[in-house]
Amino acid sequence: MVSGGRLAHALLIALSVAGGVLMSVQGRANAGLAVEESSAFYSAAWSFGTGFLVIAVIALALPGVRGGVRRFLADVRAGRQPWWLLLGGTIGAFFVFAQSVVAPVVGLALFTVVGVAGQSIGSITIDRLGVLGMPRRGLTWPRLGGAILVVIAVVIASWPELGAASAWWLLALPLLNGLLRGVQQAINGRIRADAGSALAATFLNFGGGAIVLVAAALLAWAATGRGPVAVSTPWLLIGGLLGLIHIFIQAFGVRRLGVLILGLAMIAGQLAAAVAIDLVVPLPGTGFTWLEAVGAVLAFVSVAVAAIPVRRRAAEPDVATPVTPRG
C-alpha cells in the first residue's frame, strides 16, 4: 500500500510534469505570435501582460492573496526580505523573450532541450547549497544520476543542430535562461513561504516581468514606428494564461519537491510536449526528428532516477536555510 506522503509526492511530481507541458504549449504560442507580429518584444509583452491582468483580478478578489502581497512588500520595506527577490519576474521575462526570439529559428524542441542543460546544473547547485532559504538537500547518487541523464538527453535531442555554427549564439540564450530558472524557482518558493500564498508569489512574479516587457515593447514601438497588428490565429494569445498556471505550480511545489526534482519533472513534460508540437504543429522552417523523441524519453527516465528514495544514513539530511523572521 502506498503511504499518503508518497502518494502526495507522486501527485506533486505529476502536477509538475503537467506544468512543463504548459511551458511548451506557451512557447509554441509565444513563438507563433512573434512570427505574426514580426516582433519578439510584442509577443513577450502580451504574454506577461495578460498573465498579470488575470492574476491581478484574482488577487483583488481574494483577501488572502492581497494580504500575502502586502505582508511580503512590508517585509521588503522593513529590510526583513531583500528587495532583489522582486526581480524574479525578470528571469521569467527573459525566458518568454528568448522563446519568441529563438524558437522560431531553431524549433521549440531544440530551444527546450538546450535550456534543460542549464536548468539541471542550476537546480542541483541550488539544492546542494540551500540558496535563497531553500531546504539544503544532499547530493545523492539518484539526484546526480538524474541530472547527468537529462544532460545526455539534451545532447541526443539537439545533436543534428549542434554542428550548425550559425545557431550557437542563439543557443546561448536558452542555456543562460536555464541556469537562471532554478534561481527563479527558489525565489518564488521563498516569496510563497513568506507571503503564505502561492498566488501572491505568482502575482509578484508576473508584476515584475510585465513591467520590464511592456516597457521594452513601448521602446520598440517608439524606435520602429510600427505597432502591434491583429493576429489571424487567436489561440496564439493564450501564452500569458498558460505561463500563469506554470508559475503557480512552480511556487506551490518547489519547497516540497526541491528545485532539482521539480525542475526535472517540468523538464520531462516540457520536452515531451515540445517534441509532440514539433511533430504535429511545427513552427515554419522547423520540424520533428527521432533524436528529439529519444531525448524526451530519456528525460522522463532521469526524473524517475532522481526521485528514487535513499536511506537517511546514505544521504545528507534536508536542512532548511534560515529565512529572516518577521519582527
pLDDT tens digits along 92-136: 888 888 878 887 777 776 777 677 777 777 777 777 766 666 566
Reported confidence tier of residue 73, pLDDT bands at 50, 70, 90:
very high
Whether pLDDT at 38 is above 90: no
According to DSSP, residue 136 is labeled: E
Give the residue from 164, 172, 201, 220 showing the smallest Cα distance to 44. 220
Overall number of domains in the chain: 1
In a domain, 2, yes or no: no
Whether residue 56 is contained in a domain is answered as: yes
In this prediction, residues 24-50 reach a mean pLDDT of 87
Q: How many CA atoms lie within 13 A of 190 on its CB side?
A: 30
Tell whether 5 is covered by a domain: no
| C-beta separation of 235 from 185 below 8 A | no
Cell of 231: 493576429
pTM score of the predicted model: 0.69
- Higher pLDDT: 44 or 8? It is 44
Q: Please report where in the chains the cell 521539480 appears, as a residue.
A: 262
Range of the domain at 270: 17-314
Per the domain annotation, does 3 fall within a domain?
no
Is residue 105, in this structure, part of any structural domain at all? yes
Q: How far apart are CA 196 and CA 68, in angstroms?
A: 6
For residue 219, give the amino acid letter: L
The C-alpha cell at 12 is 506533486
Residue-level pLDDT at 19? 87
User: Residue 2: how many CB atoms within 10 A of its CB?
Assistant: 9
Residue 1 lies in a domain: no
Within a domain: 30: yes
Four-point Cα dihedral 6, 252, 66, 134, nearest 10: 100
Residue 197: other Cβ atoms inside 10 A: 24
Determine, yes or no, domain membership for 186: yes
